Structure 1
Amino acid sequence: MSVEGVGATAPPSVVYLAGASRSGSTLLERVLGSVPGFVNVGELIDIPRRVARGDERCGCGEHFSECPFWVSVGERAFGGWSTDVLDHMGALQAGVARQRHIAQLLSPIRAAGFRARAAEYRGLYATLYSAVLATAGASHVVDASKWPAQALALCGSEINLRVVHVVRDVRGVAYSMQKDVERPQATHEVEKMERRSIAITAARWSVNHAETGLLRTRRIPTALVHYEDLVRDAPGHVSRVLAEVGLPPQPGWLDHVRDGEVSLGSSHGLSGNPSRFVEGTVQLRLDEAWRNHLSRRDRLIASTIGLPFGSRRDPSPSTPSATPNSAQRTEPLITVNSRLEPAAGAESPTADSGGITGMVSVVVSTRGRPELVRETLDTIVAQDYAGPIEILVIHDQEPEDQSLTARGTVDREIKVLSNRHLPGLAGSRNSGLEVAKGEFIATCDDDDLWHTDKVTRQVQLLREQPDLLVVGSGIRLLFPDRVRDWPARAARIPLSTLVHNRVKELHSSTLMMRRDTFAKAGRYDETLPHAYGEDYEFVLRVARVGQIGVVKEPLADIRKNVQSWFLARQDNNIQALEYLLTIHPELRASRRGHARILGQIAFAQSSLGRRRAALRTASKALVRYPLAPHAYLAVAQAATGLEPVIALKAARLTGRGLS
């Protein structure tokens, strides 16, 4: 089938809103659609599915077949909305843009037929988007189709795609999906929006978040906005989202967005929420009716099913330690490509680029280690660095301990905050990144110790080698019965090395980053199940976009005589390792790297008593790479029933460990 193009010379610019149903995407779509130069089109994916077939009403109130805007779009794009056009569009959509095709969409190797259909589908949508822009006289389309598979299908040179992930508390989504909501855009007398059970809604919520996270593999500009934050501070979060997808707001763009209200014009949005028809000044009120109407049992069901991507966290709004923007947050953060812009009052690079001053922000994530974190903070305060150091202590799933601030000094100020994102290390680190003011940003775990010259040495290296994004260092391992120095193996760590080896010298307590690292590689991935290996996943992304250096001498002491949060959580480890293989194709492509991850999975399976599964996984690892040490350790553990802790000690005798 041939279509008539609109003659566009550049790929159409599209802001694609992804997320679960009932997450607030319509609100953001309408707000963005009212920005000068933007046009919102609702859920464009529904044109062949039901909008054209049922001649549903456009946001302007007219039926699709009678709306001058959509009639013009159809004429420009395809010579009209004929049955052949709609049938072809629907067939291609079913053939490439459904959930079952995600694996093929992600694979670098595709069947020729699928590749051809996918290219045709992108071209068809590029033509459609260009026709929308030409008809509206706009520069950017806002498409609220939400489906992650649709976004993956549209990734290509034909479309300049940007993605905004809209997230709402899983309990709020589950409650909303229980309501009877009419579809006023439908032409039937009474037609209701889809309803689902609590369990099914929570499961789909989790799957949607996992699938949206896969968009990172396409390296497109991506940002995230929480529904709760959007309502509380629309000007700030709309501005941030636009900047993060590469469209920083221009003067006059957000005049219609104010605290507590927005002014909306008419729109030609299709399908979706009834608020599509609202015009004029709209008051923004947070919809958290689920707090009063969702039963304790249903809350538990939703939170438990959504656990890999959001943990139940329900502090009372009256709790003193709960800030207005942090209360009741359960959503994940998928912000791979999300930019870390300078915070208010952030330090600029010093005029003397050859010096080693400039503010350093240190993010220390802590939970349940009140004495150890004090020792950690003392070593940071004692740094011999000539510039100021801002120390951000982020309490995760526990009350803030403001007494820690007393351990700081004038130029080593300690600030104590709560994790405002998904519980866990990734969320804690991202909470620190949001408020960090430094030119350089470092991380440290709450049980490790820094040598006095660590900051000075690493900032000096970053000044001397401006192409470096991240700097690690050698480490000293503190075992229960001995101390072992682990100097760095090389001055630079390429992606190929990271794929083969975890690289101990890039431990989370050694990392020092330039501020713009997060604009290039994204923040920490909160969709990583249970945040296991969040630092390794982060440096893998950094290595894709820039250079990683190391100070070879040990500059941090890493305690190996303290219980790890992950040691007894082997089920968590399996989920996270399988996730890494999914989102980092370079791991699967490497025989040695793939075998290493499979060996770790096998050991975790064996530790859980799943010996047959462990032996099968270990066999796969050894087929991939016969010298894979983790696989042999898993086989030994599975065959002998050796206690996992003893196996861990045996691995440590070789200096290897299980990572």
Structure 2
Amino acid sequence: MGEFSCRSKQHGRPALTPDITVLYIAGHGRSGSTLVGSVLGLADGYVYVGEARDVWRDGLIANENCGCGQKFRDCPFWTAVFERAFGGFDTPEAQSAGRRINRINSWREKLPLLWLAWRFPRGHGASNGYTRPLTKLYTAIRDVSGASVIVDTSKTMRYGALVAATPGLDVKLTNLIRDPRGIMFSRLQRARYRDGSLKPSASGYRQSHVFRIIGKWMLRNALAARVLRRNGGVRLRYEDFVKDQGWYLRTTLGDEAAKNVVRKLAEGTGRDAVQHQIAGNWVRELKISPSERWRTELPWFQRSLAGVLSAPLRCLYRSQAFHTR
């Protein structure tokens, strides 16, 4: 799955009623979603695209590096996706879609989308201005990759609700939860591109106030918990995953596919680790090992305050599979 393959030479418009499975990973930023998504992308029939909500900003506008190492507009995978979905990167349709999707970060849109995340309807409930370009984007990703499942680590419940409300997209939710002290320590580090160079410093990488991080951690996980109880899915503690990937992979992929992924990890992933993810932190060779540097390197006051504020929910949240009612 690491190398893209365009199984269809046709560049026609995708149908608006596809049946596409999106494995959506929700949670706080710097929770390890790039690692989990990269591992899932090793499974046959799965394609990992990183944070698809940032395709428009980090890819189409900023032309940042794809996970394969090339600039977004030079990447053959994303070139084929946008050609198939919108006729290219710079067509009026693609530019209009980008402007529309990027509005989800505006204050005017945040409250309505938060309400949508609370309800999390399937296949309805969102404006066509959002759902039409999302249908085309995910359909093109499916067609170009040849995959049956798209792994999207966009993490926010607002965007996840938009994807779930898009007709033809079947969202399977994984709520990835990391100890917020680990998140805080990770945010002190700058993310890197595939060549090892540092990504530009941005709001997502600066040290944030403890209460801001804990508040967002609580809100996203609470919304995800509500959706899991109603619609099913998986809650996964990052600390559990880095110690043993087996349970989550078996629960998500099935026994045989999980065995194949575990074997690839044991043998060394090589080129399979090269995937076309947008945003996130590039993962080198998928060498998985627990890291709790925050215990000694995160400032004492931040570590203690975050530990006290998050303690009740950290005790409550355990890796668990939820079944659809």
Residue aligning to 2:214 = 202
Please state if 1:138 is matched with 2:147: yes
Counterpart mapping for 1:237-316 below 5 A: 237-243=248-254, 249-250=256-257, 253-258=260-265, 264-275=272-283, 278-279=284-285, 282-307=286-311, 309-310=313-314
1:609-637 CA-to-partner distances (Å, cap 9, x unmatched) read xxxxxxxxxxxxxxxxxxxxxxxxxxxxx
Q: Matches of 2:257 and 2:194 in 1, distance apart? A: 33
Counterparts of 1:291 and 1:256, CA distance in 2 = 32
1:161-184: CA deviation from partner (whole Å, max 9, x where unpaired):
1111111111111121123x1442
Alignment map for 1:87-102 (pairs within 5 Å): 87-95=96-104, 99-102=110-113
Aligned partner of 1:412 in structure 2 is none
Matched, 1:226 2:251: no
1:223 and 1:90, CA in 2 relative to 1: closer, same or farther beyond 3 A?
Answer: farther
**Relative to 1, partners in 2 of residues 1:69 and 1:253: Cα closer, same or farther, differing over 3 Å?**
same
Residue of 179, 183, 186 corresponding to 1:173:
183
1:20 partnered with 2:24: no
Deviation at 1:289, TM superposition (A): 0.2
Task: Report what 1:70 is aligned to.
Answer: 78
- 1:128 counterpart residue number: 137
Q: What displacement does 1:302 show?
A: 0.8
Q: Give the counterpart letter for 2:251 in structure 1.
A: R
Q: State the alpha-carbon separation in 2 of the partners of residues 25 and 126 from structure 1.
A: 23
Shift of 1:138: 1.1
- For residues 397-443 of structure 1, what are the alpha-carbon distances to aligned partners after superposition, in whole Å with 9 as ceiling and x for unaligned? xxxxxxxxxxxxxxxxxxxxxxxxxxxxxxxxxxxxxxxxxxxxxxx
The CA distance in 2 between the partners of 1:8 and 1:253, in whole Å, is: 34
AA matched with 1:232: K
Deviations 1:60-98 (A, max 9, x none): 111111111100000111111226323433324525996
SS at 1:149 equivalent: helix
Contact kept, 8 Å, 2:250 with 2:258, in 1: the verdict is no
Cα offset for 1:230? 0.8
* Alpha-carbon separation, structure 1, partners of 2:102 and 2:18: 24
Contact kept in structure 1, 2:28 and 2:177, CA below 8 Å: yes
- Indicate conservation of the 8 Å contact 1:165/1:223, yes or no: yes
Question: Within 1, Cα distance between the matches of 2:233 and 2:307?
Answer: 26
As a proportion of its length, which structure holds more strand? 1
Change (3 A) 1:332 1:20: same
SS in 2 for 1:301: helix
Q: Is the 8 A contact 1:232 1:260 kept in 2?
A: no
Provide the secondary structure at the position in 2 that maps to 1:225.
Answer: strand
| Per-residue deviation, 1:189 | 8.1
Matched ranges for 1:554-565 at <5 A? none
Higher helix share: 2
In the alignment, the residues of structure 2 paired with residue 226 and residue 189 of structure 1 have an alpha-carbon distance, to the nearest angstrom, of: 27
Please say if residues 183 and 274 of structure 1, whose CA atoms lie closer than 8 Å, have aligned partners that are also in contact.
Answer: yes
Summarize the Cα distance change of 1:235–1:107 in structure 2 as closer, same or farther, 3 Å threshold. closer
Residue deviations 1:31-51, cap 9 Å, x none? 111111111101111011222
After TM superposition, the structure 1 stretch with the greater mean CA deviation from structure 2, 193-202 or 250-259, is 250-259
Q: Secondary structure at the match of 1:176?
A: helix
Per-residue CA distance 1:639-658 (angstroms, 9 max, x = gap): xxxxxxxxxxxxxxxxxxxx
Say whether 1:215 aligns with 2:227.
yes
Give the drift of 1:133. 1.3
**1:306 positional shift:** 2.6
Name the counterpart of 1:535.
Answer: none
SS in 2 for 1:203: helix
User: Which AA in structure 2 matches 1:123?
Assistant: R
Partner of residue 236, structure 1: 247
The CA deviation at 1:300 is 2.0
CA contact (8 A) 1:260 1:285 kept: no
Q: CA deviation at 1:8?
A: 6.9
For residues 226 and 107 of structure 1, the distance between their equivalents in structure 2, rounded to whole angstroms, comes to 22
User: How far is the alpha carbon of 1:227 from its aligned partner?
Assistant: 1.1
Unmatched segments (≥5 aa) in structure 1: 311-329, 340-518, 521-544, 546-659
**CA shift digits 1:447-472 (9 cap, x unpaired):** xxxxxxxxxxxxxxxxxxxxxxxxxx
What does the per-residue CA deviation read over 1:97-137, in whole Å, with 9 as the maximum and x for residues that have no partner?
964224431577x9xxx9562x4422321221111111111
Indicate conservation of the 8 Å contact 1:96/1:153, yes or no.
no
Please say if residues 39 and 140 of structure 1, whose CA atoms lie closer than 8 Å, have aligned partners that are also in contact.
Answer: yes
Alpha-carbon shift at residue 209 of structure 1 (Å): 1.3
Q: 1:196 to 1:261 in 2, by over 3 A?
A: farther
Structure 1 pair 296/49, CA: closer, same or farther in 2 (3 Å)?
same
1:344-378 CA-to-partner distances (Å, cap 9, x unmatched) read xxxxxxxxxxxxxxxxxxxxxxxxxxxxxxxxxxx
Measure the CA separation in 2 of the matches of 1:47 and 1:170.
Answer: 26
| Partner-residue secondary structure (3-state), 1:143 | strand
- Cα distance in 1 for partners of 2:171, 2:277 equals 19
Distance in 1 (alpha carbons) for counterparts of 2:316 and 2:264: 24
User: Which amino acid in 2 is paired with 1:146?
Assistant: K
User: By how many angstroms is 1:28 displaced?
Assistant: 0.7
Q: Distance in 2 between matches of 1:223 and 1:260?
A: 27
1:305 alignment partner AA: L
In 2: Cα distance, 1:305 partner to 1:148 partner: 22
Distance 1:224 1:189, change over 3 A: closer
**Cα deviation, residue 143, structure 1:** 0.7
Q: Give RMSD over aligned pairs.
A: 3.2
1:332 aligns with 2:317: yes
Residues 251 and 183 of structure 1, relative CA distance in 2, 3 Å threshold:
closer
Correspondence for 2:4: none
Question: Which amino acid in structure 2 is aligned with residue 231 of structure 1?
Answer: V
Q: Is the 8 A contact 2:26 2:155 kept in 1?
A: yes
Rounded Cα–Cα distance in structure 1 between residues aligned with 2:267 and 2:215: 32
Deviations along 1:498-534, one digit per CA (max 9) or x if unpaired, are xxxxxxxxxxxxxxxxxxxxx34xxxxxxxxxxxxxx
Give 1:152's aligned residue: 161
Distance 2:51 2:104 in 1: 19
Counterpart for residue 52 of structure 2:
44
CA contact (8 A) 1:233 1:260 kept: no
Letter in 1 for 2:31: S
Q: Which residue of 2 aligns with 1:570?
A: none
**CA deviation string 1:213-260 (max 9, x = no partner):** 34347x4441011111111111233222335xxxx6548642545569
Q: Which amino acid aligns with 1:86?
A: Q
